[in-house]
């Protein structure tokens, strides 16, 4: 289910993603956001940012 609130939350987490595949969750961020990002195709199962994830970040500049 696509939800604008979910996308904003996912984008805020994805901006803490680094090229080596590491994702540093901000304090207090539930890991379920990462699982949702994977399920929605924004992150690969290996933790790498997908094209869809890069597009989401471009839409939600912080």
Asked if 36 contacts 25 with a C-beta cutoff of 8 angstroms, the reply is no
Write out the residue range of the structural domain in which residue 36 sits.
Answer: 4-59
How many domains are there within the chain?
A: 1
pLDDT at 62: 58
Mean pLDDT on 5-33: 87
The whole-model pTM stands at: 0.82
Mean pLDDT on 15-43: 89
Q: CB 11: neighbour CB atoms within 10 A?
A: 19
């Amino acid at each position: 289910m696509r939800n604008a609130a979910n996308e904003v939350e996912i984008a805020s987490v994805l901006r803490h993603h680094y090229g080596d595949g590491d994702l540093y969750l901000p304090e207090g961020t539930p890991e379920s956001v990462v699982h949702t990002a994977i399920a929605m195709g924004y992150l690969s199962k290996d933790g790498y940012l997908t094209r869809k994830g890069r597009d989401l970040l471009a839409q939600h500049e912080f």
